[in-house]
Structure 1
Amino acid sequence: MSTIMLLRCSGRPVGRYVYRPELGIRLSPRPYLHPVSTLHGVTVTELMPEDHPHHLGVGVAVPDVRGHNFWGGRTYVRGQGPTNLDNHGVQRHQGFNLRDSDGFVEELSWVTGAGQLLHERRTVAVTELTGSAWALDFTFCLTNTTAELLSIGSPAINGRPGAAYGGFFWRAPKEAAAPTVFTAVAEGEAAVHESRAGWLALSGESWTLVFAGATAETRRDPWFVRAAEYPGVGSSLAHEERLPIEPGATVVRRIVTIVADGRLDRGEAAALVRKAVTA
């Protein structure tokens, strides 16, 4: 049975964190948040949808860590395309340094059949912003625990244009109409995908998610955005070249996501970002 904890915002449940999931190896087992909801109870995540069964709510997923798949599903092979390979890794929960109703600090091990590649410290915190919006502050720190240089790649690096996904990823629910997506200066999937905007909003029928890079390193990563095919937003750790991590070195990324009831406009989204990132 999966092991879970509940996250609450001002006493209201807003997220369920599954930190020891029971999943098949081709899903690249890893902790995830689902369901995540607005303060008024609207679910804004999706788990194992038919179009991409390896999408697991909110979490950290990387399709290529030294050739190992921590994303789930098929692996993109140059000159061959998406291919089923026996190369799936697992993110294993090691323990909590801090665990409370509004957040936690967790230690994880990224392992393959050959042993551990990365150690992760994950810090998650929940903060109420208004009566209809709250923020999920999500930081992950990846440390190379091997004795050799390790690098992170993506399908884009391996030959698939426009597919530089890998890092923080949020799978939103699919609705009758595709969500709108915008930044402070652009609108539409084509305009915002691969941009390095300070924040990016995804807005559905009765909800809005606003993603903000909260460190200089995070802001340098382009956004990975899908709206028409399926609704999802994530970071791109390896966009134009592989991301190297020296032995003992650590990569840190922090993304703050605003979860709001209703459809926000640019001004409202920007104001909540300012409040959330400086809170």
Structure 2
Amino acid sequence: MTPVSPTVLRCAGRTVARYTTRPELAADHAPRPYLHPVTTLAGLPVTETLPEDHPHHLGAGVAVPDVAGHNFWGGRTFVRGRGSVELDNHGVQRHENFKLCDPDGFVEELSWTAGGERLFREHRTVAATALTDSAWALDLTFSLANVSGRELSIGSPATNGRPGAAYGGFFWRAPKEATAPVVFGAEADGEAAVHGVAADWVALAGPDWTLVFAGATARTRRDPWFVRAAEYPGVGSSLAYDARLPVAAGETFVRRVVTVVADGRLDRAGAAALVRKAVAS
């Protein structure tokens, strides 16, 4: 099979991301489309894929560790009473087609399948918007419709018995550098202060770059943030923070996350101003 070239995303006349729709990955990586590399306007990479510490981390995208017992995250599965174990339970997010594909964004249809069963139909939109001459925004919305004909539920290692590990949903793996990135929110500083909090936004700042993640979903609950900095740099949403998320047969749920990608290190006021502009655009 001939590899499919990544889809290029452009902003302000510059290539800022590449989107791989059909990666050639082993089943235990839970193959799925992902954005990598994502860069600042100056060309500095701010995503990482297949890192040694977590080889199932794939740039920026959507990943869920537990959909009715199926692993759409990759790697081991956390099982209550057993811990993290290797299971043959990995699902696949399969790119079906683009409804729209422009230089600054696309609209995509995907299928989530596992064990020969189609569980979700996904409608994903991604758009790049210029904010300033040194910052742009990646706007990602995913809509998941339960097409299995039965109730499904989404879980996380936290809901399965591992405290603090409520990852699952939108996830962005940043590059690991010599020093851990600085973490802050609108009213808090440090990884421990923002992890697990349903804040408007959270920022991850390296020496020469800043990422600001804003939960921008309308008419639904705001998910807590999953934040890592000391162990590895990554930020995501928690669809199942302290309880499983039920999805009835035929039901659809939507999440939107807008990420500011900036050159340099932003302060709190600068991050807040760019988030307001990004979410409103």
Q: Does TM, scored on the shorter chain, surpass 0.5?
A: yes
Q: Does 1:266 align with 2:268?
A: yes
Contact 2:100 2:107 in 1 (8 A): yes
Change in Cα spacing, 1:69 to 1:94, as seen in structure 2 (3 Å) is: same
Q: Does 1:101 align with 2:103?
A: yes
Structure 1 segment 20-99 matched on structure 2, within 5 A: 20-99=22-101
The match for 1:209 is 211
Inter-partner Cα distance in structure 2 for 1:114 and 1:148: 15
After TM superposition, give the deviation of residue 216 of structure 1 in Å.
4.2
Change in Cα spacing, 1:79 to 1:217, as seen in structure 2 (3 Å) is: farther
Inter-partner Cα distance in structure 2 for 1:161 and 1:216: 28
Contact 1:3 1:21 in 2 (8 A): no
Structure 2 counterpart of 1:172, one-letter code: A
Q: Does 1:174 align with 2:166?
A: no
The match for 1:191 is 193
Inter-partner Cα distance in structure 1 for 2:4 and 2:167: 27
Contact 1:166 1:234 in 2 (8 A): yes
Structure 1 segment 97-246 matched on structure 2, within 5 A: 97-216=99-218, 220-246=222-248
Structure 1 counterpart of 2:50, one-letter code: M
TM-score relative to the length of structure 2: 0.98
The match for 1:250 is 252
Inter-partner Cα distance in structure 1 for 2:5 and 2:109: 15
Inter-partner Cα distance in structure 2 for 1:45 and 1:191: 23
Question: 1:157-189: CA deviations, max 9, x gaps?
Answer: 000000000000000000000000000100000
SS in 2 for 1:190: helix
Question: 1:82-131: CA deviations, max 9, x gaps?
Answer: 10000000000000000011000000000012310000000000000000
When structure 1 is superposed on structure 2, of 106-115 and 65-74 the one drifting more is 106-115
Contact 1:217 1:252 in 2 (8 A): no
Contact 1:217 1:253 in 2 (8 A): no
SS in 2 for 1:41: coil
Contact 1:2 1:22 in 2 (8 A): no
Change in Cα spacing, 1:266 to 1:218, as seen in structure 2 (3 Å) is: farther
Unaligned segments of structure 2, at least 5 residues: none
Q: Give percent identity, aligned residues only.
A: 71
Deviation >2 Å, runs of 4+: 216-219
After TM superposition, give the deviation of residue 2 of structure 1 in Å.
4.1
Inter-partner Cα distance in structure 2 for 1:91 and 1:215: 22
Contact 2:117 2:148 in 1 (8 A): no
After TM superposition, give the deviation of residue 219 of structure 1 in Å.
5.7
RMSD: 0.9
SS in 1 for 2:6: strand
TM-score relative to the length of structure 1: 0.99
Inter-partner Cα distance in structure 2 for 1:76 and 1:126: 35
SS in 2 for 1:160: coil
Contact 1:44 1:173 in 2 (8 A): yes
